[in-house]
Amino acid sequence: MEIFLEGAADALTLASIVSVIGGILLGYLVGVLPGLSRPAALSVAVPLTYSMSPIGAIAFLVGVTKASAAGGATGAILLNTPGEPSSTATTFDGYPLAKKGQATRALKTALYSSVFGDLVATLVLILLAASLARFALKMGPVEMTSVMIFALSFIAALSGTSLSRGIISGVLGLFLSTVGLDPESATPRMTFGFIELFDGIPLIAATVGMLAFTEMLVQVQALFAAKGKISATSGFAPETDKNLRFSDLKRVFPVTLRATGIGIGAGIIPGLGPTIGALLSYAINKRLARPGDTYGEGDLKGVAASEAADNAVLPASLIPLFAIGLPGSVSAAILVSAFMLHGVQPGPLVFDQHPRLIYGIYVSMIVASLVMLMVGRLGLTLFARVTLVPPRLIIPFVVLFCVIGTYLERDTAFSVFAMLALGFLGFAMQRYGYSVVTFLIGFVIGPLFELSLRQALIVTNHSPLAVFDHPIAVGFLLAALAAIVLFLRPGRQ
């Protein structure tokens, strides 16, 4: 207890709180700007912490990570441009809401569900780290393969108007995700001699191109179509209602709670990360929709489903990091290097060696949640005004940030061309009713699915019956089967 108080005192010094606020502001900016991604921002921020105290440095980086997740929703809602790949699912309902004149309501839902998911996941980290981390280790290749099959079954739920076209897009996404080095033999596949493709088609180029750049092309097309009668209107219905009521909160709360749970699960299991976590949560909540819910057409529940899960992932991904030394997400992996820079080796011994620092980090994570709530609340009113700006002014800026962001991911122009090409592909797909969403699900899940499946085949000696030795895997496979049957049952919707 005494050590806990010492740690809390470290976290509540002026210097630490200033670091948290600085981190939140930087992270929020990165989150709002499309293309500038969380891992990139963290990587840039790590050298900034060289001269800080360990607690200040880590508080700063935690602030960057948390706020970039929360800020990512802003672009997703207002511009159909997720600031982070993990906010992809937020566009599904956030943007239709903004179009309907409910931008502020959507932004508020995003902020509150983000902070809720984050805070609950932080408390789970503090209270249950050790026992949950042991559970995470039970997730081996066979279990992961069935989780991926479960996730892919949601392509059916998210296909939009045409199931067959949704599946075609999903398979196309899976197919493009196989570009790059073969995970087993390290042989280049479909790289056409480009060394830039060895690590696959860059993820940021795919999400930014398919969502943001595609949307800008759609808007440009609309501008051309309206040639001659150029209107100053922004394409958004005017905002009549900006308030969230108690009835809204009551409606959205169960979804937020479920999404937080899914996000925590995605954080604990190494490899899943926030993008898959948020997509999974959106799909599961959509599947569990009640009569009257309008997922996909602008429902506050859809925004909460994505954002609460996205923000729950980071604190949860610190659970395996603190308890067993294994990062649960890319951002957590970058935090490891920051820990090591400041003389702390994350792992099973960290509570014996640096208890005061760990308690200090816990307290500053909670401080960060609260600062994020305030910064987000202030920023929201400002950002909601974007809907008043006419598209001819918005489009150039968004395209500029699309280009900068994709360039920064790997420091090559190749990523920029990949983003542009995928943007045109997305435009053509949308034009003919092929879902960009199922494409991205296939693309994001593909590499992990392939790797887990091939691992599972090796460890089970290519015997499909071995799956019965893995009860968790059987559970997920049954859930996937149930999901498919449920969705394909005629007469629904």
Q: How far apart are CA 105 and CA 464, in angstroms?
A: 49
Interface of this chain with another protein, residues 221 to 280, rule: CB under 8 A:
270-271
Give the Cβ contact number of residue 293 at 10 Å.
17
In the complex, what is the shortest distance from the CB of residue 387 to another protein, in angstroms, rounded to a whole number? 35
Indicate whether 471 belongs to the interface with another protein (CB under 8 A): no
Among the residue ranges 96-104, 284-292, 347-355, 366-374, the one whose residues contact another protein (CB under 8 A): 347-355
Q: Identify how many contiguous H helices and E strands the chain contains and give both numbers.
A: 20, 2
Q: How many CA atoms lie within 13 A of 440 on its CB side?
A: 30
In the complex, what is the shortest distance from the CB of residue 269 to another protein, in angstroms, rounded to a whole number? 10
User: Which residue in 233, 294, 345, 381 binds another protein (CB under 8 A)?
Assistant: 345
Yes or no: say if 77 and 215 are a contact pair by the CB < 8 Å rule: no
Which of residues 240 and 461 has its CB atom nearest to another protein in the complex?
461
Indicate whether 51 belongs to the interface with another protein (CB under 8 A): no
User: Which residue in 9, 53, 101, 140 binds another protein (CB under 8 A)?
Assistant: 140
Q: How far apart are CA 106 and CA 252, in angstroms?
A: 12
Q: How far apart are CA 339 and CA 439, in angstroms?
A: 37
Interface of this chain with another protein, residues 441 to 460, rule: CB under 8 A:
451, 454-455, 458-459
Task: Please enumerate in sequence order all residues whose Cβ is within 8 A of that of 127, keeping only pairs 6 or more positions apart, or say none.
Answer: none
- Nearest CA-CA partner of 38 in 251, 280, 317: 317
User: Which residue in 14, 461, 464, 468 binds another protein (CB under 8 A)?
Assistant: 461
Handedness of CA 286, 289, 291, 294 (dihedral sign): negative
Indicate whether 349 belongs to the interface with another protein (CB under 8 A): yes
Binding mask 28-47 toward another protein (x if CB under 8 A, else -) reads: -----------x--xxx-xx
Indicate whether 187 belongs to the interface with another protein (CB under 8 A): yes
Burial of 134 (0-12, 13-18, 19+ CB in 10 A): exposed
Indicate whether 206 belongs to the interface with another protein (CB under 8 A): no
Indicate whether 466 belongs to the interface with another protein (CB under 8 A): no
Indicate whether 131 belongs to the interface with another protein (CB under 8 A): no
In the complex, what is the shortest distance from the CB of residue 327 to another protein, in angstroms, rounded to a whole number? 6
Indicate whether 390 belongs to the interface with another protein (CB under 8 A): no
Q: How far apart are CA 468 and CA 361, in angstroms?
A: 42
Binding mask 393-422 toward another protein (x if CB under 8 A, else -) reads: -----------------xxx----------
Indicate whether 190 belongs to the interface with another protein (CB under 8 A): no
Cα distance between the two ends of the chain: 55
In the complex, what is the shortest distance from the CB of residue 183 to another protein, in angstroms, rounded to a whole number? 5
Q: Tokens representing 228?
A: 């001659």
Which of residues 264 and 473 has its CB atom nearest to another protein in the complex?
473
Q: How far apart are CA 135 and CA 313, in angstroms?
A: 16
Yes or no: say if 62 and 365 are a contact pair by the CB < 8 Å rule: yes
- Nearest CA-CA partner of 383 in 19, 83, 41: 83
List interacting residues with another protein (CB under 8 A).
39, 42-44, 46-47, 136-141, 181, 183-188, 193, 195-196, 198-199, 270-271, 320, 324-327, 333-334, 337-338, 340-341, 343, 345-349, 410-412, 451, 454-455, 458-459, 461
